[in-house]
Chains A and B, each alone.
Chain A
Amino acid sequence: MKSMDTTLLIARYLDGLITPPEMAELNRRLASDPEAARSFHELARFDLLIQSVHEEHQAQELFAHAVEESKDINRSYTYTLRRIQPAWKYWLGRAWGPAGSVLLHAAVLLLLINYLFLGDPETGREGIEVELTTREELALDDLDLEIEAVSYLETEERLPEPEPPASAPQYVDLPTVAPGPVRVVSPAIQAPSVIFDAIYTFRGAKQRTARRKQWAGPWADDIAVAVGRSADWLKEAQLPHGAWPGRDKGMTGLALLSFLAQGQTPASTLYGGTVSRAIQYLKAAARDGYWGDPAKRGLGGDDHSVYEHAIVTYALAEALAMTRDESLRPLLNQAVKYMLEGQQAEGGWDYGYNPDASIRSDLSVSGWHIQALAAAHAAGIRLPQMAGAMQRAARFCRAMQNEQTGEFTYSNEGGGQYTAGMTGVAVWGLHLLDEGRSAAARRGATVLACATCDWSDPPPGGLYAWYYITHARFAGRIEWENWNRQMATAFIAHQQADGGWKEPGRAIGFDEGPVYSTTLATLTLSVYYRYALQEEILAQSPVDSGGYAWQPSDFYR
């Protein structure tokens, strides 16, 4: 052994093959011979250099990997397509009948009145027009105080109007104040230049409770407790510099989204510091408004860092809309610009912003970009071509569907990988892009209606898939009662003693760490109040809204 070359000993250490006697010899040489230490430094540093250029693939396969892995698992995810229940079987109708529907409408009316008139007196006083592009009562308080009276954040002054967008022809321009019916608009159809935080209006404490009560069934209280525990878990897991461990930018983005979903902002008593530090960290971590790897932007390949860019943009856009921290706006303008530049002509996105869809397009990457764009739009970010980009994104989603089965595929490579999770991505994306009623979304709904939430038999993507399936099924109320029962019982039962979650089963094939699984689970359990989408409010609204009244049963025609 004495004769063994030092570099060989070091290589054996780095490859994890060194034996105890060899280790003793290496230790001796390192301590006594500076040349040996120099070699060690050189080889170890180079090893890390290789590691660093591969890091992207390794850990950033946040989502894609799981889908790929599923091919190796000897199990195919085929869905038995069955006829969807007719409209009358839809939960509302089934549970309450026509009389119930009236009751529900009355309840919703009360809710709406409450929500309109206790809000901004400026608009409420008019008594007719409710211009939801103004700030409604967002109760930004603490989770634990939910039952108690709420102190509302004071209504802030309306922002000066940013410049009108260069092109947004398909947008309906709403007058700021005008008598008329209740108008609620989705992020995609909205008067430009106003922060549209109404889509976050259910995140206030009262609303969270009310919405859970309405849609979570008997699990409402348990879910409130579970989400509170996970918030504490996340608060504990934050590092002093504001990031969460793992893929730090992506994880911090997901954690921030989880707190914002509960209406928690820097002003909150319990989690204010946590949220504030997360925002500060993400601001500091931006490189010219980009959170991916700038050296790889536009080069395609295996650069998964575009996921992180989209997730961070998503989180900070929500933060801007909910806090009106205008220092975020220039950063977000730049961030969205990169997203628009990175979009393929066909409307999708790919790793490393590969511009050529004939090489590859990726629905999973696109899903985070769509959520980010919708959030940016709600925050009043307006760039030329942004509206067109959102339309193209919707077209891209539709193109990823197998119209026969209704399933959507992860990418356009090879034969495609059609899964329930990817169907959730597309249908939820279509809802955000105001195509939740399209034929494609309806076909997707037939697939989603068959999805299951079984911890011992998770779909490819695990919690990632359930996050999207839950959002899509809630947005479309696709056999919601059924899904809610499965999802709520499984998620509550599998929360860890410490308040976090772990990925289910072995089907996942990757472990992105507890921050990833805990944030996805928290966001999933927040579905009841995370978004107030147009169609949902329209469906509930007793007031006719511009000719079209959305019906849940539309899905089944």
Chain B
Amino acid sequence: MMSDARDRYMALFLQHQDNLKAYIGSLVRDRHLREDIFQDVAVILWKKFDEFDEIRSFGAWARGIASNKIMQAFARLKKNDVALSPEALDAVRVMFDQQDDTADSWVDEQLALEMCLKKLPRKSRRLIALRYDHGLKLREIANEVHSTLDAVHKALTRLRDGLRKCVERELAAVQA
């Protein structure tokens, strides 16, 4: 019985863990805090698994629990640290629930994005790599490329915008 529940839990968790990580990651920008929260949530999900109603979406349930954890973490931050308010967090969670990704739904977009990344000029690719590959903070990137914080931010924003449009085009082309 026990191991039965664990098997079901494990299967569901595996299916949703990427998206759960993504959800937490989008709201919590600090890498270490993000990892801590993910671990806490993974523990709580199993502890509360017998309360989980399997007719519901596991993803939505997990995000609900993650939201609580995130709020607690934000509440512990110092007054001057920036954090999403509980109300804002709730509004964003609703949007994630509407989409309710699982591991499979990312694949097409990932492939499209990889195509788009290849089209970028070398310099732009380096910038993206510094941010997303090496996980550098913007200030560190600015140092690295001998530029200003503002210029790096603007360049990244432009790049992400371009990539987003490119992915949309690629996906449309695949579907057409």
Contacts and interface: CB of A to CB of B under 8 A. Distances in A.
A86 interface: no
Contact of A241 (B9, B95, B137, B160): B9
A58 B133 contact: yes
B82 A245 contact: no
A45 B22 CA distance: 7
Nearest to B35: A245
A16 B134 CA distance: 16
B132 A41 contact: no
Contacts of A27: 84-85, 87-88
A285 to B, nearest CB: 6
Contacts of A38: 95
Interface string B99-116: 100000011011101100
B19 to A, nearest CB: 9
B66 interface: no
Residue of A40, A43, A240 with most partner-chain B CB within 10 A: A240
B115 to A, nearest CB: 11
Contact of A13 (B38, B82, B132): B82
Contacts of B88: 26-27, 30-31, 37
Contacts of A26: 84, 88
- Chain B interface helix/strand/loop/mixed: helix
A50 B160 contact: yes
Interface in B113-142: 113-114, 117, 128-129, 132-135, 137-138
B13 interface: yes
B26 A30 contact: no
B91 A30 contact: yes
A15 B151 CA distance: 12
A49 interface: yes
Nearest to A44: B26
Interface in A1-34: 8, 11-20, 22-23, 26-27, 30-31, 34
Contacts of A49: 106, 109-110, 113, 167
A47 B160 contact: yes
A19 B82 contact: yes
Contact of B133 (A23, A43, A54, A241): A54
A37 B99 CA distance: 13
A245 B157 CA distance: 31
B46 interface: yes
Contacts of B84: 23, 26-27, 30
A284 B12 CA distance: 11
B80 interface: yes
A280 interface: yes
A285 B138 contact: no
A41 B94 CA distance: 9
Nearest to B81: A20
B118 to A, nearest CB: 10
Contact of A40 (B43, B95, B134, B156): B95
Contacts of A16: 29, 137-138
Interface residues of A, number: 50
A43 B27 CA distance: 11
A44 B114 CA distance: 18
B113 A50 contact: yes
Contact of A15 (B42, B109, B114, B153): B153
A534 to B, nearest CB: 39
A15 B95 contact: no
A18 B9 CA distance: 38
Nearest to B138: A15
B83 interface: yes
Contacts of A40: 92, 95
A50 B163 contact: yes
A18 B84 CA distance: 11
Contact of A48 (B22, B90, B167): B22
B29 A13 contact: yes
Interface in B24-48: 25-27, 29, 35, 38-39, 42-43, 45-47
B110 A52 contact: yes
Contact of A31 (B6, B91, B164): B91
Given A47-B160, A57-B133, 15 more contacts: A11-B156, A11-B160, A31-B85, A31-B91, A41-B96, A43-B160, A44-B27, A45-B22, A49-B109, A49-B110, A50-B132, A50-B160, A51-B22, A51-B132, A240-B47
28 contacts: A11-B153, A14-B29, A15-B156, A26-B84, A27-B85, A27-B87, A30-B87, A30-B91, A31-B87, A36-B91, A37-B91, A40-B92, A41-B92, A41-B95, A44-B92, A45-B96, A48-B22, A49-B110, A52-B106, A53-B114, A57-B129, A57-B133, A240-B43, A240-B46, A241-B13, A245-B35, A284-B11, A284-B14
Interface of B: 6-7, 9-11, 13-14, 17-18, 22, 25-27, 29, 35, 38-39, 42-43, 45-47, 80, 82-85, 87-88, 90-92, 94-96, 99, 106-107, 109-111, 113-114, 117, 128-129, 132-135, 137-138, 149, 153, 156-157, 160, 163-164, 167
- Minimum-distance CB pairs A-B, first 9: A240-B46, A44-B26, A41-B95, A30-B88, A31-B87, A37-B91, A23-B82, A54-B132, A27-B85
Interface of A: 8, 11-20, 22-23, 26-27, 30-31, 34, 36-38, 40-41, 43-54, 57-58, 239-242, 245-246, 248, 277, 280-281, 284-285, 295
